[in-house]
């Protein structure tokens, strides 16, 4: 029985998907749960597995075509069809066998060994019969994306054997990604069927490479900017390319947000010296207990969630058609993550129910999986307020754009030590070195006035400057 392949559910807020690449072609045999195609959505890129084993008899949706959830995209023929087709071909030679007997008595077998060297000459082409169905679309794809993906991968020391393996198990998309990330495919262990190297394998290898480069210096974010201008950015000079689907989505959403909301940004300065000292005291114990490092960001997340509970206007959604406002009863905190493909915002669901350790673990998990491409669409939707870690790239502050349909987004700047005038109980005003940062809140002026935003920021600043998180880090 033929099996229909449909565009699957890809998340509660996802209504359509774009076929970015077929991993199998018509006539190819597929196994159940074997990756069949790659699909991109507004939220995430993912591989779609085959729902049944058989032969891919028809592809109904071409690459770069967008269809709705539930639409039929391919047909897989059943096991009986595959067996039937093979049996028919086997019977024909059997029927001809008697007629061929006189020919077998002729001296024809003598010249037959002579072509034996020809199979050896053709041996390097052996991989062609297997990827033959996929080799036809590859030239057009590689023509569109210049040979950087092949040339860079072939760099040094690649033999004919590795060429065959790469051709058989690595798609052009994966080769291109490996080239952009500077990942040697010879060092990557494929997790796909038959050892095929998947996109996720390259992303995980790239993430490990980044972490390895960060281990020595402690300034983990510095190597990335140093690498990108050499490997990625400089090769873009003088070129023209189509934006990736993720980049297109970000562009459309940011422009739409500015069109919909009356966005105003307010900035306050915060002294987080007490938190910095608390981190120094509790970092080792916290990491041993929670399994993650104790950075500044979890403190900012916890204080933000507490402030949202006290200021529900910042945790709301506006129905513009009816001029209705819905105030959320929970805090789903979106966390912006800078990945190589583009900005992603995974969501910490029910963040208001988590303590500092729970937030730290969840943020670390979502951030790691955002970099390795293993988030599911539901983890990228449902946010009620967004927290952007601008300080992660060294910026003091920015003016973030609201992530629709939310009404607010908070940007946390870099924590820097500098001289500040402080009031000393005994000496009066003195200059001291303090750990300082900026909080930038962009809010929708349709609902939130500047005074509302100021009260939210003042409460948030007071919570952070108080620094009373001893119980949260296990020192109480």
Q: Which residue has the higher pLDDT, 20 or 83?
A: 20
Which of 85-89, 306-310, 470-474 holds the top average pLDDT? 306-310
Residue with tokens 């992530």: 403
Name the band, by pLDDT with cuts 50, 70 and 90, for residue 111.
very low
Q: What is the pLDDT of residue 39?
A: 87
Q: Identify whether 60 is part of a domain.
A: yes
Contacts of 15 (CB under 8 A, 6+ apart): 68, 69
H or E segment at 288?
helix 273-290
| pLDDT at site 185 | 84
Cβ proximity of 153 and 185 under 8 Å: yes
| Alpha-carbon distances, residue 443 vs 128, 261, 298, 350, 382 (angstroms) | 58, 9, 22, 22, 18
- pTM for the model stands at 0.62
Confidence class for position 206, pLDDT limits 50, 70, 90? confident
Helix, strand, coil share (%) of the chain residues, nearest 5: 45, 20, 35
Report the pLDDT value the prediction gives residue 286, as an integer from 0 to 100. Answer: 93
User: Could you report the per-residue pLDDT of 336-382, keeping only the tens digit for each?
Assistant: 999 888 899 999 999 999 999 999 999 999 999 998 888 888 899 99
User: Domain of 57: which CATH number?
Assistant: 2.40.50.100
The residues that bridge with 412 in the sheet, in sequence order, are 439
Q: Which residue range(s) make up the domain with 359? A: 262-473
Q: How confident is the model at residue 233 (pLDDT cuts 50, 70, 90)?
A: low
Contacting residues for 356 by C-beta, under 8 A, at least 6 apart:
298, 299, 302, 469, 472, 473
Q: Which span out of 14-23, 38-47, 455-464 was modeled with the highest average pLDDT?
A: 455-464
Block residue for tokens 């007071």 = 462
Model pLDDT, residue 234: 67
Out of 340, 350, 445, 459, the active site residue is: 445
Measure the CA dihedral 220/222/228/230, to 10°.
-120
Residue 296 lies in a domain: yes
Q: How far apart are CA 1 and CA 182, in angstroms?
A: 45
**Pick from 189, 146, 197: nearest CA to 168:** 197
Q: Compute and round to an integer the Cα radius of gyration of the chain.
A: 29
Over residues 15-32, mean pLDDT: 89
Q: For residue 83, what pLDDT is reported? A: 44
Give the least confident one: 38-42, 107-111, 206-210, 467-471: 107-111
pLDDT in tens, 184-198: 888 888 766 456 677
Report pLDDT for 195: 67
Q: Tell me what pLDDT residue 210 has.
A: 74
Q: Is residue 165 part of a domain?
A: no
**Of all helices (H) and strands (E), which one includes residue 265?**
strand 263-271
Residue with more model confidence, 150 or 353? 353
Task: Report the helix count and the strand count for the chain, using DSSP H and E.
Answer: 15, 19
Phi, psi at 269, each rounded to 5°:
-100, 140
Q: Domain end: 57, 77, 97, which one?
A: 77
Hey, what are 471's tokens? 């119980």
Find the length of the chain: 476
| 36-50, 99-113, 151-165: least confident range | 151-165
Question: Among 42, 77, 112, where does a domain finish?
Answer: 77
Phi and psi dihedrals of 435, rounded to 5?
-90, 110
- The rounded distance, in Å, linking the Cα atoms of 75 and 55 is 9
Look at residue 136 and tell me if it is in a domain.
no
pLDDT of residue 194: 55
Give the pLDDT of residue 152: 31
Residue 14 resides in a domain: yes
| pLDDT recorded at residue 291 | 92
pLDDT greater than 70 at residue 150: no
Decide if 170 is inside a domain.
Answer: no
Known active-site residue 449: yes
Query: For 83-107, what is each residue's pLDDT tens digit?
Result: 444 433 444 444 444 444 444 444 4
Share of the chain above pLDDT 70, in %: 73
Number of domains in the chain: 2
In this model, does residue 131 exceed pLDDT 60? no
Q: Is residue 408 domain-resident? A: yes
The whole-number average pLDDT for the span 414-430 is 93
pLDDT band, very low/low/confident/very high, at 308 (cuts 50, 70, 90):
very high
Q: Is the pLDDT of residue 445 over 90?
A: yes
When the pLDDT of each residue in the chain is averaged and rounded to a whole number, the result is 79
Q: Are 38 and 47 in contact (CB under 8 A)?
A: yes
Q: Which pLDDT does position 397 carry in this prediction?
A: 94
Mean pLDDT of the 134-144 span: 39
CATH number at residue 336: 3.30.559.10
Q: Is the model's pLDDT at 156 over the cut of 90?
A: no
Per the annotation, the verdict on 445 as an active-site residue is yes
Of 444, 432, 434, 392, which is closest to residue 413 (Cα–Cα)? Answer: 392
Whether the per-residue pLDDT at 400 is higher than 90: the answer is yes
Give just the sign of the alpha carbon dihedral 163, 165, 167, 173. Answer: negative
Alpha carbons 308 and 328: distance in angstroms, whole number: 10
- DSSP per-residue codes, 370-437: HHHT---GGGGS--SEEEE-GGGGT-S---PPP-TT-SEEEEE---EEEEEEEEETTTEEEEEEEEEE
* pLDDT tens per residue across span 242-295: 888 888 888 999 999 999 999 999 999 999 999 999 999 999 999 999 999 999
Last residue of a domain, one of 77, 111, 136: 77
CA angle 200, 205, 208 (to 5 degrees): 125
């Amino acid at each position: 029985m033929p099996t229909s392949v449909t565009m699957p559910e890809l998340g509660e807020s996802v209504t359509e998907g774009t076929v970015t690449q077929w991993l199998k072609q018509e006539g190819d045999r597929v196994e159940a749960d074997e990756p069949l195609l790659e699909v991109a959505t507004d939220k995430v890129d993912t591989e779609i597995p085959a729902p049944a084993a058989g032969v891919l008899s028809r592809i109904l949706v071409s690459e770069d075509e967008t269809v709705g959830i539930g639409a039929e995209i391919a047909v897989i023929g059943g096991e009986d069809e595959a067996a039937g087709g093979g049996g028919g071909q086997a019977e024909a030679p059997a029927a001809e066998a008697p007629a061929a007997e006189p020919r077998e008595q002729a001296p024809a077998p003598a010249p037959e060994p002579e072509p034996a060297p020809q199979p050896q000459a053709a041996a390097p082409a052996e991989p062609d019969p297997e990827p033959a169905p996929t080799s036809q679309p590859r030239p057009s794809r590689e023509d569109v994306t210049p040979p950087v993906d092949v040339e860079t991968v072939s760099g040094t020391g690649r033999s004919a054997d590795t060429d065959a393996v790469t051709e058989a198990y690595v798609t052009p998309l994966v080769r291109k990604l490996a080239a952009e990330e500077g990942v040697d495919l010879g060092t990557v262990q494929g997790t796909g069927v038959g050892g095929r190297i998947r996109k996720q394998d390259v992303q995980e290898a790239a993430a490990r490479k980044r972490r390895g480069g960060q281990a020595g210096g402690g300034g983990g974010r510095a190597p990335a900017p140093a690498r990108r201008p050499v490997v990625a950015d400089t090769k873009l000079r003088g070129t023209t390319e189509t934006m990736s689907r993720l980049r297109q989505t970000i562009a459309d959403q940011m422009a739409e947000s500015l069109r919909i909301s009356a966005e105003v940004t307010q900035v306050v300065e915060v002294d987080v010296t007490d938190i910095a000292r608390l981190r120094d005291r509790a970092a080792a114990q916290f990491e041993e207990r929670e399994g993650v490092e104790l950075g500044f960001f979890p403190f900012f997340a916890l204080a933000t969630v507490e402030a949202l509970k006290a200021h529900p206007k910042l945790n709301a959604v506006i129905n513009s058609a009816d001029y209705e406002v819905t105030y959320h009863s929970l805090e789903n905190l979106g966390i912006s993550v800078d990945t190589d493909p583009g900005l992603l915002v995974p969501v910490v669901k029910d963040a208001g129910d988590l303590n500092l350790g729970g937030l730290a673990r969840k943020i670390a998990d979502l951030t790691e999986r955002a970099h390795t491409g293993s988030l599911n669409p539901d983890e990228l939707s449902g946010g009620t307020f967004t927290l952007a870690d601008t300080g992660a790239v060294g910026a003091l502050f920015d003016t973030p754009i609201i992530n629709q349909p939310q009404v607010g987004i908070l940007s946390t700047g870099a924590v820097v030590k500098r001289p500040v005038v402080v009031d000393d109980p005994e000496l009066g005003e003195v200059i001291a070195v303090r750990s300082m940062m900026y909080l930038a809140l962009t809010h929708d002026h349709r609902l939130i006035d500047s005074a509302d935003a100021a009260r939210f920021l003042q409460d948030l600043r007071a919570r952070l400057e108080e620094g009373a998180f001893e119980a949260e880090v296990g020192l109480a």
